């Protein structure tokens, strides 16, 4: 079996591939056709499409990314496509937790104050930042909140959603879950229950795949149903959210937000989302950690083992066989 892997991958990350597999090193843009059976794809659409144009005989393609919306439009249907479910669970869940804590503890505002060399903490009365909870006294210029006791709604409860919940366990939160199909243990609701659950949530985490149904599904109505002062976190795909509606909800002061993804992306200079109040933005780095590549290639190695043993592949999105 000929396994196509990017030529830039360090050899030590290929140790799990079986000896029966012939590793074929692929340049990003091959100068001539290359025959392979199993393709470990580059992580960007432009690179993947350019490389695929010179590949021949591909029977199965392994993406290292959880989302495959960028692959489905151009990969031939007779090729089995597998996604990277599980590869990004740890880093994405950790970033979701980091964004929650950074937002609740007002870390961006404190960082801005540090850059101005201003001590804007205890007993500095009369500032522009204050607690979301009006019942708390405004004894701080920048007053943080607590994750403890919050209700967190995870919209799109898959493996990453479960990983987020596991990391929330020590914080004493209540977790509500929504997925395409209902489940019992733990209780997972469907999107039909969203109008009832959304007003109860202090923090809403979006982890939906980008599909025809989800594209643009989060807009004015969604934000209007959120609890005043609630935190909106998007760890999924930018186009799921109508950006204009998000900007309006932020500018009105109705919600706070922390975003790993945006629409458009990259977010251009001067876009109103950059300057929207109470919005923390990181540039789509949820899965970008040093351990990502090793974890992804371990999955690819298991897939090759499955094929050699005539076993079913994992994470099949579309089956070309």
What are the two backbone dihedrals, phi and then psi, of residue 289, each rounded to the nearest 5 degrees?
A: -135, 170
CA 319 to CA 63: how far, in whole Å? 14
**Helical residues (DSSP H) of 105-153, grouped into ranges:** 107-115
Q: Considering the entire predicted model, what is its pTM?
A: 0.88
Reported as a single tens digit per residue, the pLDDT across 179-227 is 999 999 999 999 999 999 999 999 999 999 999 999 999 999 999 999 9
Active site residues: 284
Contacting residues for 101 by C-beta, under 8 A, at least 6 apart: 107, 147
Percent pLDDT > 90 in the chain is 84
Q: What is the CA radius of gyration of the chain?
A: 22
Q: Which two tokens stand for residue 271?
A: 């876009």
**Residue 142 pLDDT:** 61
Digit-by-digit pLDDT tens for the chain (321 residues) are: 999 999 999 999 999 999 999 999 999 899 999 999 999 999 889 999 999 999 999 999 999 998 899 999 999 999 999 999 999 999 999 999 999 999 999 999 889 989 999 887 655 444 444 445 555 555 555 678 999 999 999 999 999 999 999 999 999 999 999 999 999 999 999 999 999 999 999 999 999 999 999 999 999 999 999 999 999 999 999 999 999 999 999 999 999 999 999 999 999 999 999 999 999 999 999 988 889 999 999 999 999 999 999 999 999 998 875
**Residue 122 pLDDT:** 58
**Burial zone of 312 (CB within 10 Å; 0-12 exposed, 13-18 middle, 19+ buried):** exposed
What kind and span of H or E run contains 293?
helix 292-308
**Residue 125 pLDDT:** 44
CA distances, 269 to each of 209, 265, 275, 303 (Å):
27, 11, 10, 42
CA 66 to CA 297: how far, in whole Å? 14
Reported as a single tens digit per residue, the pLDDT across 134-180 is 555 555 556 789 999 999 999 999 999 999 999 999 999 999 999 99
**Residue 127 pLDDT:** 44
Burial 268-295 (b: 16+ CB within 10 A, else e): eeeeebeebebbbbbebebbeeeebbeb
CA 103 to CA 152: how far, in whole Å? 14
Q: Which residues lie across from 252 on neighbouring strands?
A: none
Residue pair 77/96 in contact (Cβ under 8 Å)? The answer is no
Instruction: Pick the closest to residue 8 from 50, 43, 57 (CA basis).
Output: 43
CA 186 to CA 184: how far, in whole Å? 5
In degrees to the nearest 10, what's the CA dihedral of 146, 114, 120, 137? -20
**Helical residues (DSSP H) of 233-279, grouped into ranges:** 243-251, 272-275
Right CATH number for 89-105+145-281 from 3.30.70.20, 3.30.870.10, 3.40.50.720, 3.40.50.1970?
3.40.50.720
């Amino acid at each position: 079996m000929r396994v196509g892997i990017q030529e830039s991958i360090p050899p030590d990350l290929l140790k799990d591939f079986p000896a029966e597999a012939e590793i074929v090193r692929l340049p990003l843009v091959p100068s001539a056709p290359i025959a392979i059976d199993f393709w470990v794809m580059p992580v960007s659409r432009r690179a993947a499409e350019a490389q695929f144009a010179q590949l021949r005989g591909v029977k199965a393609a392994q993406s290292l990314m959880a989302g495959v919306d960028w692959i489905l439009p151009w990969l031939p249907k007779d090729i089995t496509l597998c996604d990277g479910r599980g590869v990004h669970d740890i880093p994405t869940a950790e970033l979701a937790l980091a964004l929650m804590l950074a937002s609740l503890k007002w870390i961006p505002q404190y960082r801005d104050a540090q850059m101005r060399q201003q001590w804007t903490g205890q007993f500095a009365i009369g500032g522009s930042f204050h607690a979301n909870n009006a019942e708390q006294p405004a004894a701080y210029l920048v007053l943080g909140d607590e994750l403890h006791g919050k209700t967190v709604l995870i919209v799109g409860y898959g493996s990453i959603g479960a990983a987020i919940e596991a990391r929330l366990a020590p914080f004493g939160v209540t977790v509500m879950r929504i997925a395409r199909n209902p489940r019992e243990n733990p209780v997972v609701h469907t999107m039909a229950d969203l109008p009832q659950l959304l007003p109860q949530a202090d923090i809403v985490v979006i982890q939906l795949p980008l599909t025809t149904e989800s594209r643009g599904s989060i807009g004015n109505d969604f934000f209007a149903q959120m609890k005043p002062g609630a935190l909106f976190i998007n760890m999924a795909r930018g186009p799921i959210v109508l950006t204009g509606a998000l900007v309006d909800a932020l500018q009105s002061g109705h919600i706070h937000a922390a975003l790993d993804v945006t629409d458009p992306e990259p977010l251009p200079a001067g876009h109103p989302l950059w300057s929207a109040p109470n919005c923390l933005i990181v540039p789509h780095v949820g899965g970008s950690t040093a351990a990502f590549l090793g974890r992804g290639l371990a999955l690819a190695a298991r897939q090759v083992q499955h094929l050699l043993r005539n076993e079913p592949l994992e994470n099949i999105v579309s089956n070309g066989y």
